[in-house]
Structure 1
Amino acid sequence: MAENILILLGWLGELIFASWLLSDGAEHLAERWGGRFVGRTLLSIATTLPEIGIVVAAAKDGSYGAALGSALGSNLFMMTFGLAIMLIIATTRLSKAPEKFINVKEFGLDKIFLVLTAVAGAILFIDGYDVLDGIFFSGMFAVYLAFAFREMKKEKKVIPLEKNLHEDSQIKPKKHFARAMILFVAGTVGIFIGAEPFVHALEGVSVDLGVSIVVLAVIVSPIAGEMPEKISMILLARKGAGGASIAVANVLGSKILNNTLLLSVAVFAAMSYKGITAKIPNTSILEYQMILVTVITIVALIPMFKNKLGLKSGILLLVLYAIGIGMQFVLQSV
């Protein structure tokens, strides 16, 4: 047992380090290209790569519980704990320019999309995921990108989001950009190297402890999978209201990606190894997890529909995360 745990921790450390490289590179690329569109797309896709790597590795081996558990755990972790930490930083002296509230009125599209994709994902899972569901999730992802691109064009006609966000907001030198690209690529490679052995180690520890692979994936996988998003959120939250706004865009965008792109990746990864008729089956524990995470996602979004998030919202989200983790022990005994 001890050997499997040490192996798991070793690969978890590798993924965290690779995620840090990815986060640093993505952060500097976002500074160059800037804007809410980058938070929704480039930064969201970059910070979702660890989950994609884990999901592909798990689906390849037919470990669908680990694949979906990783995706669900990511949504649970970031929609509660992740947002909470960002709000606590942005609204206290931990920020360079603390704000009383973070205005999220401009994220109406993201909030609606996140609710729709979360509910759709839960409903479609009733009879498991197959090729048609994979196509549907891919289509939803494409629609979200199209809407995000349209909003970006509208934003450019008004006021750039990152105006005065950085004192050094001028175009960075080529050397700076090259370094960011190298870190981004190195982090990506490191993630895909470590994803498969991480899943194998997760399965080994699951057997040793007698804990469901789904529950373990929900709790442990986000530690590695969400590391780049967590790092980028902390860095952005410390920069004031503008940075916090991009951080919110990143969280909402990446969770929508989890409900669309990540699920389609899981389906198509299973198909690529098991054939076009491959199906990710519904199991009782996965169904309970899907319902739990969908409900928590919607509850976490309720304060956002009031268009202002403050310190109190952050504390409430921490409580919600504790409830979600507590429910894992209940589900384990079901």
Structure 2
Amino acid sequence: MILSIVLLLVGFVILIFGADKLVEAASALAANFGIPNIVIGLTVVAFGTSAPELVVNVFAAINNSPEMVMGNVLGSNIFNVLGILGVSAVIYPLAVKSNTTWIEIPLAFLAALLVLIVASDQLLDKLPEDLITRSEGIVMLLFFAVFLAYNIIVSKNPGQKPESIEIPKYSSAQSMLWIIVGLAGLVFGGKLIVDNAVSIASSLGISERVIGLTIVSIGTSLPELATSIAAVRKKKVDIAIGNVVGSNIFNIFFILGVSSTILPITIQPENFRDIWMNIIAGLLLFVFIFTGKERKLERWEGVIFLVLYTAYVTSLVMDSL
């Protein structure tokens, strides 16, 4: 049990280190080939920050652990909004750009609703079980392709100020070496996390769903947490909220899409509680943005997010005891 906990923590360290090095090296390699910064930011960096969730879910799908798949995706999205935005807003109120307000936040909310729709086979289609099928996973990937195309089109708008990203100076050979190291870290760290999270769940008699919703989802969301807090401390609040909203869209359309394409995901009755929590978090974010005179997430709203997240996690732990 203790060894599994240690290996789980080691897995998180290796996974996040691998993701960080992969982003740096791939960004440097892209820059060496003359690819514009904004395209690097929307593709390499965006994929890189979601790499921990993706790798963990791929291993969970391969290991036939649908509860871990759903727990990690939904847990990450809930933590992103209630935890990361809650902490960020308490540090400094988060102003929201027009595109984020009118397109990306509603799209993240619709993505949360989409999970409810594709998971409700018994209710909507009178089928014997609730299942996210491969075909539904492919549809999510198509939605993701549209979202990616939208981002690239918006980035080319003359009135759109691109966010600056720091790209390290690596030679192409160094970049390739670090890409290999980063990928190895992702694969090795991801496997350590999934194997030992399942082992801990078995030892404690806790479901893989709860482990995925708490320990695994928070651990894989650490890059987003670090990015958002660093952005808020530099008063770049639009990066903080855009980072979280974009990550939530990635998690559902891309990561859940890939996972369900690998393995059709059986939905348990308990999963609907988490699906609804994800919807409530997205709805609250949308409502809070429109309260007050400005499009802003205030400190008191961040406190509400944190209280709600604490209550949710506490209820998960209490129910599992």
Task: Please give the per-residue CA displacement for 1:37-96, whole angstroms capped at 9, x wherever unaligned.
Answer: 76654433211100100000010010111111111111011111111223334x2xxxxx
- Are the equivalent residues in 1 in contact too, given 2:94–2:241 (CA < 8 A)? no
In structure 2, the partner of 1:116 is 110
Length, aligned pairs only = 305
Q: Distance in 2 between matches of 1:132 and 1:182?
A: 36
TM-score (norm 2): 0.83
Q: CA deviation at 1:112?
A: 1.4
Q: Check whether the contact 1:39–1:249 (CA below 8 A) recurs between aligned residues.
A: no
CA RMSD of aligned residues (A): 3.0
**Distance across 2 between alignment mates of 1:11 and 1:239:** 30
Q: Which residue of 2 aligns with 1:79?
A: 81
Tell me which amino acid in the other structure corresponds to 2:161: P
- Please tell me the residue identity of whatever aligns with 1:220: I
Summarize the Cα distance change of 1:230–1:73 in structure 2 as closer, same or farther, 3 Å threshold. same
Amino acid of the structure 1 residue aligned with 2:311: I
Instruction: Give the structure-1-normalised TM-score.
Output: 0.80
1:9 corresponds to:
9
Aligned partner of 1:239 in structure 2 is: 234
Contact 2:27–2:44 at 8 Å: present in 1 too?
no
Partners of 1:296 and 1:75 in 2: CA distance:
9
Amino acid at match of 1:134: G
Supply the AA of the counterpart residue of 1:15.
L
The 3 A distance-change label for structure 1 pair 29 and 249 is farther
Are 2:300 and 1:312 equivalent residues in the alignment? yes
Match of 2:48 in 1: 46
Cα 1:316/1:19, change in 2 over 3 Å: farther
Distance 1:327 1:20, change over 3 A: farther
Amino acid in the other structure paired with 1:304: I
- CA–CA distance in 2 between the matches of 1:300 and 1:293? 11
CA contact (8 A) 1:20 1:187 kept: yes
Is there any run of 5+ residues in structure 2 with no aligned partner, and where?
121-129
**1:1-334 equivalence runs, <5 A:** 1-22=1-22, 33-34=36-37, 41-89=43-91, 91=92, 101-107=94-100, 108-126=102-120, 127-154=130-157, 157-158=158-159, 160-162=161-163, 174-175=169-170, 186-240=181-235, 243-270=236-263, 279-306=264-291, 307-329=295-317, 331-332=319-320
Please give the alpha-carbon distance, in whole angstroms, between the structure 1 residues aligned to 2:117 and 2:319.
20
Deviation at 1:246, TM superposition (A): 2.2
Structure 1 gaps, min length 5: 92-99, 271-278
CA gap of 1:309–1:39, structure 2 versus 1, over 3 A, is farther
Q: How many Å separate the matches in 1 of 2:168 and 2:18?
A: 24
Question: CA-to-partner distance for each residue in 1:189-220, whole Å, 9 max, x for gaps?
Answer: 31122112211111110011011110011101
Deviations along 1:244-267, one digit per CA (max 9) or x if unpaired, are 212322211110011111111111
Cα distance in 1, alignment partners of residues 89 and 205 from structure 2: 36
> Which amino acid counterpart does residue 184 of structure 2 have in structure 1?
V
For the 8 Å contact 1:43–1:250, the answer to whether it is kept is no
**Secondary structure in 1 matching 2:209:** helix
Distance 1:234 1:178, change over 3 A: farther
SS in 1 for 2:267: coil
